[in-house]
Homo-oligomer: A and B are copies of this chain.
């Protein structure tokens, strides 16, 4: 799609050869399924040169759900393997602009989400988590890069990429540069000392438009295009055709749910790959492709053998 590449066996083999680690099951199972310039990041690693990771989260609810964890779990693993810095942007400003939410409430949600993110266990010496509403006003280089990007993106472009219209608030229209800025290492002088370092962004495929835009602009500022790793959506309880959504409690398992709540939600709402009748089910078995419980195990059960046994 738009020039991204499939994560194929060759890339995985190179990954394993360079790092000496078996690729994460998200990679082996096609959960992270496509990339841009991942070979560039591997080249740098091979040459002993630096790169860094960037991911983010729009704090729209006080509890994160399982789907939100995918990128963070993957970043934690990438950070362990490559031993690189990671920056995590909490776009609380975005949530104020898009939703009926005031500044103070959005910052509160960012802090709540930060706790869940921290629990993923990143290297505390190499990880920087920030709220836009608090950090941009404490980092002049961030604002400068926002202006540099805002100067080079037109309304026509964001209209084409994001579908903005004339009745949208100007804050939405100028938001994409705010999400682009952390992909430029010069945004964080306290981490990179002004060096122009390659960025690698693991994210959901829905975030790709922001970074296609960023990749157009970075070279105009003398900075390497960020590389990308794209994940599929985490399926809702109701099935793999839907995306888990924080606004529909019955579609999602939240990190704040109790074990009992989780059990009830899965038993009551999880879409089953079972056949229509007991006889049919005995004859041909369940359809794992559409069975939510099995699909979730693909995300969370690391052991390939155990997963295969369960499938059968």
Contact B151 A141 (CB under 8 A): no
For residue A40, CB closer than 8 A to chain B, the reply is: no
For residue A307, CB closer than 8 A to chain B, the reply is: no
Contact A147 B177 (CB under 8 A): no
For residue A139, CB closer than 8 A to chain B, the reply is: yes
Closest to A143 in B: B137
Interface residues of A (CB under 8 A from B): 93, 96-97, 103, 133-134, 136-144, 147-148, 150-156, 158-159, 164-171, 173-174, 176-177
Complex: A197 Cα to B175 Cα, angstroms: 29
A134 CB contacts on chain B under 8 angstroms: 140
Q: Main secondary structure on chain A at its contact with chain B?
A: helix
Contact B171 A166 (CB under 8 A): no
Contact B148 A144 (CB under 8 A): no
CB distance from A131 to the nearest CB of B (A): 10
Contact A143 B136 (CB under 8 A): yes
Complex: A138 Cα to B152 Cα, angstroms: 24
Contact A168 B155 (CB under 8 A): yes
Complex: A177 Cα to B173 Cα, angstroms: 13
Closest to A174 in B: B174
Complex: A137 Cα to B140 Cα, angstroms: 4
CB distance from A124 to the nearest CB of B (A): 24
Contact A144 B133 (CB under 8 A): yes
Q: A103-B144, A144-B103 are in contact. Are A153 and B137 (CB under 8 A)?
A: no
CB distance from A231 to the nearest CB of B (A): 28
CB distance from A172 to the nearest CB of B (A): 8
